Structure 1
Amino acid sequence: MKTLITGASGFIGSEVVKSRAARFRLVSRNLRSNPIETDESDIFYVESIDSSTDWTGAFGNIDSVLHLAGLAHNKDSKPADYDEVNFLGTIRLAQEAQKQGVKRFVFVSTIGVLGRCSKEGPLNRFSSTAPYDCYSKSKLKAERALQELASKGSMELVIVRPTLVYGAHAPGNFQKLVKLVNLSPILPFGLANNRRSFISVYNLSDLLLRCLTHEQAAGHIFHACEQEPISTKDFVNKVAKGLNKSLIQAKIPPKLMKVFLTCIGKKITYDQLFGDLEVDGACSQKTLNWSPPYTIDESMKFLRNTND
């Protein structure tokens, strides 16, 4: 039996497939979007993943689905676009999988469904949802619809909410941070003693593989993070070490940075760099008997091979 994996050519998906710890059927829009060497019979082609995707023939010999594909932060996308892909596209995939007798559906959501910051201690499975943008709102809609679907059928559901995922070739905010460390020997995070949770793509890949097979995973929501939170200052220092770069951290008061970033319309950036986002990942560690196989320093070493 195999796992159908969407987003297989993406940042997280390519790492999961690379592990060769399971047999996969890769969902792809064309050959060029799939860099993994595999037999053509292991690829299922679609035009797009949305509310009208034709999944006919996708689930033969498939006993689980790992759904990674989705519309992330895109300035050109409208709220309806996020719902079409992340919400309606997910539900259509899950409905078709359930009809075809798929045993387990692993959905990769986002910690953003709980908010942008953790102001009252670590976020955990009892924390109230507080999605703050189109992406996190569409993911939460998908979570709730999947839970309702799973309650009416036999397909097992596992939801994984990753914190910021870092590693070589990471997109988004981490990519911007790597570029910043490469460009500037001085950065303003010397007094950024906040607490934020992260997870490397290598650790997340290991966790997702565990979620596909572990008997106790069904029905759980797992917050994907490494064991200890870290300050932005220390995290950036580890990025610099991973890139083999010298770095000076200027001790600029966070309040001054808040005023500056707010004045230039970057309040969200301030929250991301100086606010707390501490997450409790105990559920995955206890339920799945899982701990991250890589330390943060070991994960950062992979950055050296991509440092131009």
Structure 2
Amino acid sequence: MRVILTGASGFVGGAVLQALSRKANVEVILPLRSSLRALPAGVISYPIGDLTDDQTEQLITHRPDVVVHCASRVHIMSDTSDNPLAEFRRTNVEGTLALARAASNAGVRRFVFVSSIKVNGEQTRQGAPYRADDPPCPVDPYGISKLEAEQGLLALGAKTGMEIVIIRPVLVYGPGVKANFLSMMRWLHRGVPLPFGAIHNRRSLVALDNLVDLILTCIDHPSAANQVFLVSDDEDLSTTDLLARMAQALGKSSRLLPIPAWMLSVGARALGKGALSQRLCGSLQVDISKTRQRLDWQPPVKVDAALRATARFYQENDKK
């Protein structure tokens, strides 16, 4: 089987590359804007500019069976663009659909698209998780662009017969994670007192290894064709619980002050940090029953094991 993989220089795509390279009878082909320092043995790469240009037609010469599309313009907490939606659309919609059209022309059988839970929305009521077939309700430009890409892919698949598989991850963590999750580990490692000891929300997360396992499952599972799947660790945590368990994984004592969530929200909004407050204090849960039942899939890695692996990588590589 020949697999085209995009986004191999990123957090998720890089992990998918390593997993695919270990599979027998799989040839991995990477379209790259810039060379990666070390490619696994047997991986083929070729240079490419923007996915919107004619270079996507090079796919035809490689005769791939499947495309796994991990590349995207990622969500940015403080986007300084004059028109964020236009920027997200250029990469996440136009680029994705240009790649998909080239894939269809190349006779690709299946196109696996790593989307985002932001297509569903930003938050849920506790006990009322998002489901894969719920009406989408994106709020920000990133979520809107991912939904538009999904819609374009499904329309293309219906027209051409190319199978489309859409995966919407929640927050992904694991060895090498950056952004807010990395900041959280640094706070805990330094023993900084944190005002998050009384947060009773529920949030779904997904370990990198669990997401990669599902992506690989969707490459060739017959029941994945033309479906949308949500993915998580299938164990929802409060912010307080996550911090306590992450501290334990780091071998540190958690110093969590029991400040009520409503006080944190009021203070955060006063400082213009309402979005961050929502992520820390609000709930976002997903129901992965469709993923489990249709694909006979279970997350192979438990939360505490994934947290320990994340902590170990941080302690060995990123500790500051």
Instruction: Normalising by structure 1, report the TM-score.
Output: 0.94
- Decide which of 113, 116, 122 is 2:129's aligned counterpart: 122
What is the CA distance between 1:17 and its match in structure 2? 1.6
**Residue of structure 1 in register with 2:266 after alignment:** 259
RMSD of equivalent CA atoms: 1.6
Identity over aligned pairs, percent: 33
Secondary structure (helix, strand or coil) at the match of 2:58 reads coil
Correspondence 1:239 to 2:246: yes
How many residues align? The count is 305
SS in 1 for 2:305: helix
**1:212 aligned onto 2:219:** yes
Query: Among 18, 26, 31, which residue is 2:35 paired with?
Result: 31
Structure having the larger proportion of residues in helix: 2
CA drift at 1:53: 4.6
Larger deviation, residues 248-257 vs 23-32: 23-32
Kindly indicate whether the alpha-carbon contact (under 8 Å) linking 1:113 and 1:130 is maintained by their aligned counterparts in 2.
Answer: yes
Cα distance in 1 for residues equivalent to 2:183 and 2:146: 24
Give how far 1:225 is off. Answer: 0.7
User: Counterpart amino acid of 1:25?
Assistant: I
Rounded Cα–Cα distance in structure 2 between residues aligned with 1:175 and 1:161: 22
Superposition deviation, residue 52 in structure 1: 2.2
For residue 247 of structure 1, report the CA deviation from its aligned partner: 1.0
Q: Which amino acid is 2:210 matched to?
A: N
Correspondence for 1:89 among 87, 92, 95: 95
Post-superposition offset of 1:55: 1.5
- Does the Cα contact within 8 Å between 2:8 and 2:17 map onto a contact in 1? yes
Residue 304 of structure 1 pairs with residue 312 of structure 2: yes
Q: Secondary structure at the match of 1:44?
A: strand
8 Å Cα contact 1:4-1:66 kept in structure 2: yes
Q: Deviations over 1:15-45 (max 9, x none)?
A: 112122343112211214x543345x71121
Does residue 272 of the first structure (1) align with residue 279 of the second (2)? yes
Give the 5 Å matches for 1:99-118: 99-118=105-124
- The CA distance in 1 between the partners of 2:80 and 2:264, in whole Å, is 28
Structure 2 CA distance for aligned equivalents of residues 104 and 248 of structure 1: 48
Q: How far 1:79 sits from its partner (Å)?
A: 2.1
| Contact 1:46 1:53 (C-alpha < 8 Å) held by counterparts | no
Q: C-alpha offsets along residues 272-305 of structure 1, whole Å, 9 cap, x if unaligned? A: 0111101001111111111011101111111213
Q: Distance in 2 between matches of 1:144 and 1:57?
A: 25
Amino acid paired to 1:71: R
What is the match of residue 176 of structure 2? Answer: 169
Amino acid at match of 1:175: L
Amino acid at match of 2:72: G
Q: Distance in 2 between matches of 1:255 and 1:57?
A: 54
**Segment drifting more, 226-235 vs 194-203:** 226-235
- Unpaired runs of 5+ residues, structure 2, are none
C-alpha distance 36-76 of structure 1, shift in aligned 2 (>3 A): farther
Q: How far, CA to CA, are the matches of 1:35 and 1:72 in structure 2?
A: 24
Greater Cα shift, 70-79 or 147-156: 70-79
What's the counterpart of residue 187 of structure 2? 180
Q: Contact 1:53–1:89 at 8 Å: present in 2 too?
A: no
